[in-house]
Structure 1
Amino acid sequence: MQPYESHVERLIREAQERGEFDNLRGAGKPLDLGSVDDPDWWIKQKMRAEGLDGAGALPAVISLRREAAGFPESLRELRSEAGVRAVLVDYNDRVRFDRLVPRDLKTPPLVAPLVDIDAMVAQWREL
Structure 2
Amino acid sequence: MEALFSVLVGALFAVSIYLFLSKHIIRVLMGVAILGNAVNLLIFTNGRLLREVPPVIAADEYTLQQAAANPLPQALILTAIVISFSFFAFLLVLGYRAFQELETDDTDEMRVAEPADEEAPPLGY
* TM-score, with structure 2 as normaliser: 0.32
* TM-score, with structure 1 as normaliser: 0.32
Between structures 1 and 2, the one with greater helix share: 2
Which has the greater radius of gyration? Answer: 1
